[in-house]
């Protein structure tokens, strides 16, 4: 579902969010295989991206909201499997505070990148 060539991908909706020194891009796109959500994190030196298939956007957002809206200190890591992709939601903490780290299992069938850290 990744549209690196850009030739067949149509941007349906684009939103940008700035948090401290990071920019997050949320792009709803469509190509001949269907719609998908592309989430990118850009810092001054790197850009990381994950692709969420349209069929899993609601589940993905439910899990994301669970982490963002929870005050519980005992939040557990979770995983979400969609089609051939597995997304991992992990909570971390450093000197700047707590953060949500999203990773996508990279398989031979789907070699696209993926890591998105949310601080």
Question: For residue range 54-85, what is the model confidence (pLDDT) as tens digits?
Answer: 988 998 888 888 888 887 777 788 888 877 78
Q: CA 69 to CA 76: how far, in whole Å? A: 14
Q: What is the pLDDT of residue 1?
A: 46
Domain locations along the chain: 10-115
Specify the DSSP class assigned to residue 73. Answer: S
| CATH topology assigned to domain 10-115 | Secreted effector protein pipB2 fold (3.30.2450)
**Torsion sign (Cα): 33, 54, 27, 105:** negative
Q: CA 2 to CA 30: how far, in whole Å? A: 10
Which residues in the chain come in under a pLDDT of 50? 1-5, 111-119
- Cβ-based burial of 104 (10 A; exposed 0-12, middle 13-18, buried ≥19): buried
Q: What is the pLDDT of residue 106?
A: 62
Q: What is the pLDDT of residue 116?
A: 44
Across all residues in the chain, what is the average pLDDT?
A: 80
At 89, phi and psi to the nearest 5?
-110, 115
Q: What is the pLDDT of residue 109?
A: 57
Q: What is the pLDDT of residue 29?
A: 96
Q: What is the pLDDT of residue 17?
A: 93
Distant-in-sequence, close-in-space partners of 62: CB < 8 Å, separation ≥ 6: none
Closest CA to 12 of 36, 25, 28, 32: 28
Tokens of 20: 């401290």
């Amino acid at each position: 579902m990744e549209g690196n060539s850009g030739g067949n991908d149509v941007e349906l909706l684009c939103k940008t969010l700035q948090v401290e020194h990071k920019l997050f891009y949320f792009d709803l796109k469509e190509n001949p295989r269907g719609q998908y959500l592309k989430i990118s994190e850009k810092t001054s030196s790197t850009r990381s991206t994950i692709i969420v298939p349209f069929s899993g956007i609601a589940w993905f957002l439910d899990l994301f909201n669970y982490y963002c809206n929870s005050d519980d200190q005992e939040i557990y890591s979770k995983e979400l499997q969609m089609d051939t992709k597995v997304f991992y939601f992990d909570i971390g903490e450093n000197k700047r505070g707590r953060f949500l780290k999203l990773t996508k299992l990279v398989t031979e069938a789907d070699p696209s990148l993926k890591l998105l850290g949310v601080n």
